[in-house]
Amino acid sequence: MPDSVSKTAAPVADYDGFAAAYSASNENNLFNAYYARPEMIRLAGDVAGLEILDAGCGSGPLMEALRGKDAVVSGFDLSPAMVELARQRLGEDADVRVADLGAPLPYPDDTFDLVVASLSLHYVKDYDFGEGTVWMTYWHRPLQDVINTFITARFGIKTVTEPPPAANTPAELLPNADGRSFICFLFFELEAR
């Protein structure tokens, strides 16, 4: 996360004010381009022909990557500015909507074969970049709370990964030359029971 972004709880997060700068940063930064996105694509596997929902799609880079692997992808984000950037990226006919991950979603049940949620769950308060400082609010939860929420929602955990950065990560982005001490996110692959 660049120094210009603080993840300290403060006023309600508002990506609309810095959506374009945030999106531009995510195109090539360590956490998104060389860590989270490659792992999400790997976990999704062979997606050709699958209907996929990107929950918290931001400006659409994961949607674009999955669509490039012949998936039929829909997405939503809380930020209208991010949704507009996703439409610019994917085309006006793309199914990208403004919606809240913490509220009932605007899709019929059993619409999707796969749901991806990359770096979005910590922005949900309730389970029911430019220059200057930007305040982003997120809610930290103990790992047991996250896992118990999956269990309560009747999801089975297929895998949990904490991968190294992608092999093609530029060395100058890594905290050390070998990348071995890089510990960042946990990825959960879930399946409906």
Which residue reads 């619409």 in tokens?
Answer: 111
- Whole-structure pTM over 0.95, yes or no? no
Cα(78)–Cα(84) distance, integer angstroms: 11
**CB 20 within 8 Å of CB 84:** no
> What's at 102, amino acid-wise?
G
* Mean pLDDT of the residues in the chain: 82
pLDDT tens track for 35-82: 889 999 999 999 999 999 999 999 999 999 999 999 999 999 999 999
**What mean pLDDT comes out for the span 77-88?**
94
Q: Residue 30 is encoded by which pair of tokens?
A: 């360590």
> What is the SS3 assignment for 51?
strand
Per DSSP, the residues of 19-64 read: HHHHHHHHHH-HHIIIIIHHHHHHHH---TT-EEEEET-TTSHHHH
136: confidence class by pLDDT, cuts 50, 70, 90: low
Annotate 23-32 with b (16+ C-beta within 10 A) or e (fewer): bebbeebbbb
Question: Dihedral angle at the C-alpha atoms of 62, 66, 67, 73, nearest 10 degrees?
Answer: -80
Give the pLDDT score at 176: 67
**Superfamily name with CATH number, domain 5-141:** Vaccinia Virus protein VP39 (3.40.50.150)
> What's at 159, amino acid-wise?
T
